Amino acid sequence: MTHRKTAALLSIIPGMGQFYNKQFVKGFAFLFLAICYFIAFLDFLNIGLWGIVTLGTEVPRDHSIFLLVNGVISILVVGIGLGFYYFNIYDAFQNGKKRDNGLKLNSLKEQYHNVVDKGFPYLMVGPGFLLLIFVVIFPIIFMLLLAFTNYNLYNSPPAKLVDWVGFKNFIEIFSLDIWRETFISVFAWTIIWTFTATTLQVSVGIFLAVVLNQKEIKFKGIIRTLLILPWAVPAFVSILIFSGLFNDTFGAINQSILAPLGIDSIPWMTDPFYTKIALIFIQSWLGFPFIMAMTTGVLQSIPGELYEAATVDGASNWDKFRKITLPMVLFTTAPILITQYTFNFNNFNVIYLFNNGGPAVADQNAGGTDILISWIYNLTMTSAQYSKAAAVTVLLSLIIVSLALWQFRKTKSFKDEGMI
């Protein structure tokens, strides 16, 4: 038998393969770590893994949700353990291979240098990644699992146990009338909202930038600063101000602007149609300054000769805008415009702070202006439909992740040539 196979086989008990390769210090370190791991985590893993499979068996003793939390952490701990275990076998195998080929193994000092050298990137990534695991990745895994349980207001610990129910939540979202209709209408509005609000804010931004940057316009600086104000004021403040302005009975829009014009009060907050109009208006108000500021930068970088040549060829202003300005602006800002769309797709603040996703609508369990993200929030916080909310979250994430993957395939960050 070759050294590599023997070493790898012996490594089933961590450290033994290293002993076989006569790397005693490393072997001890591996064995010691493995023993510590078992002493520290065995009980926790035992309960955790049992918990995540059964979600508890006795009512007052077991709290399903806490068991689920511990279960997820157990899985993460097991994952780290397996990673270490794999590395232990891999290391024994590689060193065995060196011996097979008659190469000298690294001395202890060389091993130390090797660890410091190869370990450096992990040391750098480590702290941030650990935090990421607990506050971002763990919660997402938890939600993913929750989507396959029956956790809701009527079925929640400590009074009751939660059970695994497979794909029931997903099936119900699409088979029960109220859920399906709500999902479809919320999803449709999310798409309409994303497209109209973003497109409007982008067009207004580009339009104002073009108008403002004509050479003959005076006081450019002051006008620009005034127009950029909505971006400077924190958005949550502006949205709350708007919810006062648009108030049906007392708001200034109905009272001071529409009334003198002889227009009857418009039910901004109580009729879904008008709430939607108001929301799109508010988002355009909030969003256009950034696009305008960015476009201004692009406009200033377009060489003047282009326009002069166009004038010589007899192009009208409209032609110049359509054939030179717009393509230049769209081309250079395209990636940012895409992020504007994804931002609005998940723009919780404007929907929730303005009118709580409302007004309420008959025959569905979401407000008239809820987008997916605010619907999830309301399902969780108001109606305690935890597992349904989790299922919607999973659907939402699937949409987002597939978009992200599609975008990632086109980027260069993947490549790693020229690196250490």
Partner 1 sequence: MSIKTARRIRLTLSYLVLLSAIAIVVYPILWVIGSSFNPGNTLSSSTIIPENATLAHYKELFAETDYLIWYWNTLKICFITMVLSVIFIGLTAYAFSRYKFVGRKNGLLLFLILQMIPQFVAILAIYILAYQVGLLDTHFALILVYVGGLIPMNTYLAKNYYDTIPKELDESARIDGAGHFRIFWQIILPLSKPILAVIALFSFISPFADFILASILISSDEKMTLAVGLFNMIKNEFGNSFTLFAAGSVLVAIPIGLLFLSLQRYFISGLTAGGTKG
- Which 151-190 positions form the footprint of partner 1 (CB under 8 A)? none
Contacts 24+ apart (CB under 8 A), 393-402: 393/143, 393/147, 394/143, 394/144, 394/147, 394/170, 395/170, 395/173, 396/372, 397/140, 400/342, 400/345
Q: Among 76, 105, 212, 328, indicate the residue that binds partner 1 (CB under 8 A).
A: 212
Q: How far apart are CA 36 and CA 46, in angstroms?
A: 16
Q: How far apart are CA 80 and CA 40, in angstroms?
A: 14
Q: Which of these segments, 28-36, 43-51, 62-70, 186-194, binds partner 1 (CB under 8 A)?
A: 62-70
Examine residue 208 and tell whether it contacts partner 1 (CB under 8 A): yes
Q: Identify the three-state secondary structure at position 149.
A: strand
CB 268 within 8 A of CB 248: yes
CB 380 within 8 A of CB 400: no
Question: Any residues with CB less than 8 A from the CB of 54 and at least 6 apart, and which?
Answer: 67
Q: Which of these segments, 21-29, 63-71, 168-176, 180-188, binds partner 1 (CB under 8 A)?
A: 63-71
**Residues 134 to 153: which contact partner 1 by CB under 8 A?**
134-140, 142-143, 146
Min separation Cβ 395 and partner 1, Å: 11
Q: Among 59, 226, 263, 326, indicate the residue that binds partner 1 (CB under 8 A).
A: 226
Q: Among 31, 173, 228, 258, indicate the residue that binds partner 1 (CB under 8 A).
A: 228
Min separation Cβ 313 and partner 1, Å: 17
Min separation Cβ 179 and partner 1, Å: 18
**Residues 76 to 135: which contact partner 1 by CB under 8 A?**
117-118, 120-122, 124-125, 127-129, 131-132, 134-135
Examine residue 277 and tell whether it contacts partner 1 (CB under 8 A): no
Examine residue 420 and tell whether it contacts partner 1 (CB under 8 A): yes
Q: Identify the three-state secondary structure at position 354.
A: helix
Q: Among 106, 152, 156, 255, indicate the residue that binds partner 1 (CB under 8 A).
A: 255
Examine residue 304 and tell whether it contacts partner 1 (CB under 8 A): no
Question: Any residues with CB less than 8 A from the CB of 362 and at least 6 apart, and which?
Answer: none
